[in-house]
Amino acid sequence: MGGGRRSTNRMVEKVNNRWEVCVSLSEGQFQQVSFVNGISTIKGGTHVDYVTNQITNHVMATVNKKNKNANVKAHNVKNHLWVFVNALIDNPAFDSQTKETLTLRQSSFGSKCELSDEFMKKVIKSGIMESLLSWADFKQRKELKKTDGTKTTKIQVEKLEDANDAGGRNSDKCTLILTEGDSAKALAMAGLSVVGRDHYGVFPLRGKLLNVREATHTQIMNNKEIENIKRILGLQQNKQYDSVKSLRYGHMMIMTDQDHDGSHIKGLLINFIHSFWPSLLKVPSFMVEFITPIVKATHKNGTVLPFYSMPEYESWKESIGGSASGWSIKYYKGLGTSTSKEGKEYFANLDMHKKDFVWRDEQDGEAIELAFSKKKIEARKHWLRQFEPGTHLDQKEKLIKYSDFVNKELILFSMADLQRSIPSMVDGLKPGQRKILSCSFKRNFVKEAKVAQFSGYVSEHSAYHHGEQSLASTIIGMAQSYVGSNNISLLQPNRQFGTRNMGGKDHASARYLYTQLSPITRFLFPRDDDRLLNYLSEDGQTIEPSWYMPIIPTVVRELGLGGALTSLIIIQEI
């Protein structure tokens, strides 16, 4: 039985006096040997299906639980099985006189064959799970190869401004500039008028790249942006790269905003390459970044000081005693804030703005995995707890270790993400919500106004550096009052602010919605307390306080979810 298979690969169980089962592994095709009342059913039948379905369903569930991306189906498991069934069945019915296939329904067998948990554990430990995971990995890699790029001089990708020498004999000298959106692409194109089009290409990214480390195979296959990057660079799945000679571009330059979200986009691109082609990160100068100032301080005597991170700018402000008199401060929210003239200046001094990422040792790979792998959640919590305010990359350095990027720049995004995702225990507000509440009090917001107009007011009076669309969404969220939204709405939902059925997503557009302060809000945050609060200041403008001091713990209003932490408030009677 089994054609010479080792006995250790066979799992045998005598379920009862009427059923005996043996299972072993098959080489990619289902095989069975079965008997009904001593008659050999060479083509199987319902009795074999009855036993096999129990095994395949259990193995399928276990494999997919082990690897959610495996997407193994029951028929895939069946193709890896060899099954023996010996059964005694009441009044069996066959498909023909030769009795090759049992056709009797399971309910008429006259007995049951329920395989034990112990037997199922033996099947799992037989090596079938490893075989299926290996098969699933091979299949996924084969499918991903369909989106591979090749080293060719001409390709058609929407919005790509290809370098003249890309894919040619000088391709190793070419640099692909990946920008954060179309406005950043316009800035890069202005810069190309300085450095030329022969060795520089530009491709705009649409927001944040997929975290491929935690994405499903289907998500990766259907992601057009990943496919485009592979085609533009000429990347081939499963290939080990020790040089860039076989690629269309020899360098990949990341050009994003200098804010926290820009750091996240850099991290996601590094994570993408590390997940599929880790050897490429070890190739000198393959991965580079282009940095631009996030703040420029211009003195009335003409002196211009650029700052490439907020901690660097804050440190300078402290060094001059917090007084910026005589200095004009300009905050560059995005690359679109820079003029074409500034873009040309940046590229004219390319060496000053270009930084090379370097791989020193395995700590670099561990740092990347720490930042993006779900398996590292506990380690990521510890990483965040070790954060020290003022941490930032020294932008004077020409070479940046991947571990330094993660621990000194990407961590700033993670901390900012937590701060804007999880409410403060003091007043129950996130930073954006606190800005909105502060402006509501400043405006004495007792007469209703359009959400779209109020978001503009908040942006102007609170030094809000993100998009007004995001601000409008926060205002709408603070006003929603359906069951499951806010326990207490600080703003009134005048018009259609969404329903419980759609989780609030069915709200009207911000230009049609009106809101104002809820009557209860000033009871929770008394006006007499306003003068006692510690107000923040930015660019010489007084903005919201560090936090408010409500008369009851308003943190019970809502919950939050961040990158590695979540808040869960157990509400008791107050």
SS3 36: strand
Residue 94 in tokens: 């066959």
Asked which of 417, 433, 465 is the last residue of a domain, the reply is 417
CA distance 496 to 492: 11
Residue 240 in tokens: 């080990």
The closest alpha carbon to 284, from 171, 168, 153, 172, belongs to 172
249 is a catalytic site residue: no
pLDDT in tens, the chain (574 residues): 444 444 347 899 999 999 999 999 988 789 999 999 999 999 999 999 999 999 999 999 999 888 877 888 999 999 999 999 999 999 999 998 889 999 999 999 999 999 999 999 999 988 888 888 888 888 887 877 777 788 888 899 999 999 999 999 999 999 999 999 898 999 999 999 999 999 999 999 998 999 999 888 888 888 999 999 999 999 998 899 999 999 999 999 999 998 889 999 999 999 999 999 999 999 999 999 999 988 888 888 888 898 888 888 888 888 887 566 778 888 887 788 888 999 999 999 999 999 999 999 999 999 999 999 988 999 999 999 999 988 888 888 899 999 999 999 999 999 999 888 888 889 999 999 999 999 999 999 999 999 999 999 999 999 887 778 889 999 999 999 999 899 899 999 999 999 999 999 999 999 999 999 999 999 999 999 999 999 998 766 889 999 999 998 888 766 555 555 555 555 555 4
| Tally: H helices and E strands in the chain | 19, 18
Asked which of 110, 144, 178 is the last residue of a domain, the reply is 144
Number of domains comprising the chain: 4
164 and 46, same domain (yes or no)? no
What element of type H or E holds 205? strand 200-205
SS3 5: coil
20 and 89, same domain (yes or no)? yes
What element of type H or E holds 509? none
CA distances from 425 to 65, 462, 556, 565 (A): 36, 22, 9, 14
CA distance 573 to 422: 23
Q: Which of 308, 464, 512, 535 is catalytic?
A: 512
88 and 229, same domain (yes or no)? no
287: domain CATH number is 3.40.50.670
281 and 298, same domain (yes or no)? no
437 and 564, same domain (yes or no)? yes
305: domain CATH number is 3.30.1490.30
557 and 503, same domain (yes or no)? yes
Asked which of 390, 417, 444 is the last residue of a domain, the reply is 417
Domain membership of residue 4 (yes or no) is no
> Residues with Cβ < 8 Å from 255, sequence gap 6 or more?
177, 178, 179, 180, 184, 188, 289, 290, 292, 335
The closest alpha carbon to 74, from 61, 88, 90, 93, belongs to 61
Give 11's strand partners.
23
DSSP 566: B
CA distance 329 to 297: 5
Give 45's strand partners.
102
CA distance 571 to 556: 7
220 and 285, same domain (yes or no)? yes
What element of type H or E holds 178? strand 175-180
CA distance 180 to 332: 14
pTM (2 d.p.): 0.76
Parent domain of 323: 293-331
